[in-house]
Amino acid sequence: MQALVDASRRKESVLVAGLDPIPSRFPEELRILPEAEATLEFCRGILEAVEPCVAAVKLQAAYFERLGTVGMGIYAGLIEAARDLGLPAIADVKRGDIGPVAAAYAEAHLGVYGATCVTVNPYMGVEAGLPFLEETRRQALGGGVFMLVATSNPSSREVQESTEPPLFEVIARMVAELGRPAGDYPDAGAVVGATRPEIGGRARALLPETLFLSPGYGTQGGDASGIRPLLDCNGGGVLVNSSRSILYAYERSASDYKDAAREAARESRNELRLAGARM
């Protein structure tokens, strides 16, 4: 996780830009291109536009997988391009298998494709997360694994809060047990959404020293007030992801998509600074 922490401090930003490329929402001049070509051009444009304002980027793998072999080439190329810009790349894959299968996923995304971190669904137990942690420890590049603890989607309550103790608390304790010291934070982090501040606060109480990745900011309804309960005792410990609010900011602007994305990222970064979020 140290690579993310270092980038956040260098940029004075806790904002993560999510790359969720939806071709039907691309600007008109890109929609006339083949989807793969348009996706590459759009994402490269976004990367260059937001680089001054963000600590990292998060690539949603599904949007590249849907394009087949060429899409995964684009995915790998964007991770490399982010690295060249000094931006750690989080592979948002949410894999949830175990054993050799999990190890193969880990080798692919952390090794072959070169992501700094991955997201993992740990609901099959310790065996779902450990192979990813073992791979990032072998890589020894300051990466880590973010495990789903309390997600931002509305129906998550039906599962994550349906037991006693709540399932998200069980998973939080597992994250605490799996993580090893790796700089400022353990190498096992937690995905904790910005849309349920009360749950976020409870997750922070259970994980006082863990780095959080917080989705749901912006389009999904999360705001700076939802981030504050997630902060650790030093006012840090949270990286905040914003995807559609940045990518498609041009839809509510007179600017082109790159300028609109840059301005949206700048506004979000500054709002989070004012809320006291820092690394």
Cβ burial, residue 9 (10 Å; 0-12/13-18/19+): middle
Which is the catalytic residue, given 11, 58, 94, 258?
A: 94
Pairing of strands 56-60, 212-214: unpaired
For residue 209, how many C-alpha atoms fall within 13 Å in the half-sphere facing its CB?
Answer: 13
8 A C-beta contact, residue 40 and residue 33: no
If you ran DSSP here, which 8-state letter would residue 217 be given? B
Could you list the beta-strand ranges (E) of the chain.
Answer: 15-19, 56-60, 89-95, 117-120, 144-150, 188-192, 212-214, 238-242
Of 91, 79, 239, 139, the closest CA to residue 131 belongs to 139
Q: Is 25 helix (H, G, I), strand (E, B) or coil?
A: helix
Give the span between the Cα atoms of 191 and 173, in whole angstroms: 13
Residue 58 designated active-site = no
Q: Are 213 and 191 in contact (CB under 8 A)?
A: yes
Distance between CA atoms of residues 182 and 91, nearest Å: 19
Query: Rounded CA gap, 117 and 268, in Å?
Result: 22
Q: Which residues are catalytic?
A: 94
